[in-house]
């Protein structure tokens, strides 16, 4: 069986493959996507780079891999080791040799969907131009890593809706563009990308880092780099792959191990679950690879879990560490001001949202219910997408300002309560008169 991999790191990678000894002569493709930018979000690109190394060392050639990522970490001014990205403390350089098919402004949900669908015409002149050219006997592995929200996966300056992702997958199935597909998604509320969307009978199997209504978690806060090096779910599945003979380990076994070890959030499986009887190598490459003796750990000694925080709290923890490690009172004061600035920016988002709700809500009691009822999943998708799109355009770009994603549940509440989308949109236009802002973490 040939092997093709597509990886997108927001950043993305695409791969076409080598012969595999399996039940047909299809091709294996893999897609890896890192959907964020900035040093605060170092971990997302580190996860994707590590995933690339896994696929590469398991026999997938570079010409068959597509990577999408912002690529602003390895040579960032805050990186004391230019050209180096690590995914665990004192770990290997996972950036070495990574493909850069789509970087910077080319990391968009539109490009990702065109790459997935094999739309060469749409990708002509963009990045490497590589797309998945899969057929009815081929398998596809997709790994998405970034911030999320109910029904949303983030990109550096935009976002992907759950309905658009699943519509693309269903169309690919209708056009016989794959035999089987597996998706591993690292993001807050990542389960919402599949709940009520992904059919159980189209040969697609997915794992989400969290349930539809909870955060995923960052881990490995590095003392030197002052940023998180990985995300718990991603670390757990990749460290498992690194230490296992994946030609013998099934997807079911990997899921059970990762579910048990990821104690911070509820890792869930979706779609056609009987696919998990296949080996991990069926989707991550069957080439012989040197195994790594790293983990598993006893819960009390697990360096990933012991350093883990919910993704929304990661920026604050990073700044608190900078304060604690400051070499002088003056330096500590600088980082305290940065933390105060971050908290003020977050308050600004909440204040704007509060003003929007109070413009629409008939009284304070209802307004507060809209603001405080968290952990919601989407019911009225038409309403939700309309008001989120308006919020993104009028108030806070959801790619540039990840913290704004944390408050989209308010719009789920407003839609469920029965507020008309046009009224919410008019409130956005009335309240959001501030200049464009960026980097509200």
270-297 pLDDT tens trace: 999 999 999 999 999 988 888 887 888 8
The verdict on 21 and 149 lying in the same domain is yes
pLDDT of res. 8: 46
Q: Let me know if residue 363 belongs to a domain.
A: yes
Catalytic position from the list 188, 219, 395, 415: 188
| pLDDT tens per residue across span 361-414 | 999 999 999 999 888 889 999 999 999 999 999 999 999 999 999 999 999 999
Percent of the chain surpassing pLDDT 70: 95
Beta-ladder partners of 228: 221
Q: Are 132 and 102 found together in one domain?
A: yes
C-alpha closest to that of 204 among 185, 183, 187: 183
CA distance 278 to 195: 23
Task: Choose, from 44, 50, 56, 147, the residue flagged as catalytic.
Answer: 147
pLDDT of residue 233 exceeding 60: yes
Task: Please give the torsion angle defined by the CA atoms of residues 308, 313, 315 and 319, in that order, rounded to the nearest 10 degrees.
Answer: -80
Q: Is the pLDDT of residue 21 over 80?
A: no
Boundary residue ending a domain (282, 309, 336):
309
Q: What integer best gives the mean pLDDT of the chain?
A: 93
Specify if 24 maps to a domain.
yes
Same domain for 391 and 292, yes or no, is no
Q: Is a pLDDT exceeding 70 seen at residue 73?
A: yes
Q: With bands split at pLDDT 50, 70 and 90, how would you rate the model's confidence at 15?
A: very low
Give the residue from 77, 99, 44 showing the smallest Cα distance to 229.
44
How far, in Å, are 38, 70, 109, 256, 382 from residue 124 at the CA level?
28, 19, 16, 41, 32
| Same-domain pairing of 153 and 197 | yes
Q: If residue 120 lies in a helix (H) or strand (E), which one and from where to where?
A: helix 120-123
Is 242 within the bounds of a domain?
A: yes
- Tell me the mean pLDDT in the region 259-272: 97
Which of the four pLDDT bands, split at 50, 70 and 90, describes residue 152? very high
Tell which phi-psi region holds residue 48, choosing left (phi > 0), alpha (psi between -120 and 50) or beta: alpha
Same domain? For 130 and 251 the reply is yes
In a domain, 107, yes or no: yes
Whether 232 has a pLDDT exceeding 80, the answer reads yes
Residue 287: predicted pLDDT: 87
- Residue 11, classed as helix, strand or coil, is strand
Instruction: Note whether residue 440 is domain-resident.
Output: no
Verify that 266 and 385 share a domain, yes or no: no
Structural domains of the chain, count: 2
Query: Residue 388 class from Cβ within 10 Å (0-12 exposed, 13-18 middle, 19+ buried)?
Result: buried
Please identify, among 246, 277, 309, the residue that sits at the C-terminal boundary of a domain: 309
Is 319 inside a domain boundary? no
> Looking at the structure, do residues 251 and 389 belong to the same domain, yes or no?
no
Cα separation, 19 vs 413, whole angstroms:
51
Which residue in this structure is represented by tokens 């794959």?
178
Is residue 412 a contact partner of residue 150, using CB atoms and an 8 Å limit?
yes
Q: Which of 21-35, 165-179, 258-272, 395-409 shows the lowest mean pLDDT across its residues? A: 21-35
Same structural domain for residues 260 and 340?
Answer: no
DSSP for 27-55 reads EEEEEEEE---SGGGHHHHHHHHHHHHHH
Q: Of the candidates 290, 240, 262, 231, which has an alpha carbon nearest to the alpha carbon of residue 36?
A: 231
Span 168-185, mean pLDDT?
A: 97
Q: Residue 7's pLDDT is what?
A: 47
Q: Is 395 a catalytic residue?
A: no
- Residues 340, 256: Cα–Cα separation, whole Å: 41
Q: Is 337 domain-assigned?
A: yes
* Tokens of residue 219, six digits: 């881990």
Tokens 């109910």: give the residue: 150
Q: Does residue 1 have a pLDDT over 70? A: no
- Do residues 256 and 393 share a domain? no
Write out the residue range of the structural domain in which residue 190 sits. Answer: 2-309
Same domain? For 93 and 230 the reply is yes
Q: How far apart are CA 335 and CA 71, in angstroms?
A: 26
147 labelled catalytic: yes
Domain boundary among 262, 279, 309: 309
Q: Are residues 275 and 332 in the same domain?
A: no
- Tokens 């944390």 belong to 406
Residue 320 lies in a domain: no
Residue 4 has pLDDT above 60, yes or no: no
- Judged against a pLDDT cut of 60, whether residue 81 lies above it is answered with yes
Calculate what percentage of the chain has a pLDDT beyond 90.
88
64 & 164 share domain:
yes
Confidence label for 24 from pLDDT (cuts 50, 70 and 90): low
Please check the confidence at residue 6 and state whether its pLDDT lies above 60: no
Per-residue model confidence as pLDDT tens digits over 299-330:
889 999 999 999 999 999 999 999 999 999 99
Residues 6+ apart with CB under 8 A from 360: 414, 419, 423, 424, 427
For residue 263, give the CATH number of its domain.
Answer: 3.40.50.1460
Strand pairing category for 148-149 and 152-154? antiparallel
CATH number, domain with residue 344 = 1.10.132.130
């Amino acid at each position: 069986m040939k092997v093709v991999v597509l990886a997108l790191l927001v950043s993305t990678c695409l791969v076409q493959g080598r012969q595999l000894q399996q039940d047909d002569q299809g091709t294996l493709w893999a897609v890896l996507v890192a959907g964020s930018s900035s040093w605060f979000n170092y971990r997302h690109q580190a996860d994707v780079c590590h995933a690339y190394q896994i696929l590469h060392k398991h026999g997938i050639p570079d010409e068959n891999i597509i990577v999408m990522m912002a690529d602003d970490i390895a040579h960032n001014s805050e990186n004391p080791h230019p050209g180096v990205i690590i995914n665990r403390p004192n770990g290997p350089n996972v950036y070495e040799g990574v493909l850069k098919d789509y970087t910077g402004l080319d990391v968009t949900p539109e490009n990702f969907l065109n790459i997935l669908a094999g739309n060469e015409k749409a990708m002509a002149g963009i990045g490497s131009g590589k797309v998945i050219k899969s057929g009815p006997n081929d398998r596809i592995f997709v790994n998405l890593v970034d911030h999320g929200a109910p029904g949303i996966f983030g990109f550096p300056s935009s976002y992907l809706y759950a309905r658009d992702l699943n519509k693309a997958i269903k169309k690919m199935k209708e056009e016989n563009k794959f035999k089987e597909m597996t998706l591993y998604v690292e993001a807050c509320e990542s389960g919402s990308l599949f709940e009520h969307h992904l059919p159980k009978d189209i040969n697609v199997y997915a794992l989400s880092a969290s349930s539809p209504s909870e955060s995923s978690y960052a881990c490995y806060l590095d003392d030197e780099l002052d940023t998180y090096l990985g995300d718990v779910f991603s670390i757990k599945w990749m460290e498992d792959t690194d230490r296992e003979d994946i030609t013998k380990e099934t997807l079911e076994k990997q899921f059970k191990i990762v579910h048990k070890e990821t104690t911070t959030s509820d890792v869930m499986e979706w779609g056609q679950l009987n696919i998990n009887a296949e080996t991990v190598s069926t989707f991550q490459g069957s080439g012989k690879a040197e195994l790594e003796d790293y983990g598993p750990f006893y819960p009390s000694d697990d360096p990933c879990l012991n350093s883990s925080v919910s993704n929304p709290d990661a920026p604050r923890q990073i700044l608190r560490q900078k304060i604690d490690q400051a070499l002088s009172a003056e330096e500590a004061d600088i980082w305290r001001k940065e933390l105060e600035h971050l908290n003020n920016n977050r308050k600004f988002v909440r204040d704007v949202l509060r003003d929007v709700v109070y413009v629409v809500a008939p009284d304070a009691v209802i307004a507060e219910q809209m603001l405080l009822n968290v952990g919601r999943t989407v019911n009225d998708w038409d309403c939700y997408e309309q008001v989120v799109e308006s919020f993104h355009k009028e108030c806070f770009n959801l790619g540039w300002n990840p913290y704004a994603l944390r408050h989209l549940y308010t719009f789920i509440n407003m839609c469920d309560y029965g507020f008309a989308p046009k009224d919410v949109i008019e409130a956005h236009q009335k309240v959001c008169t501030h200049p464009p802002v960026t980097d509200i973490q």
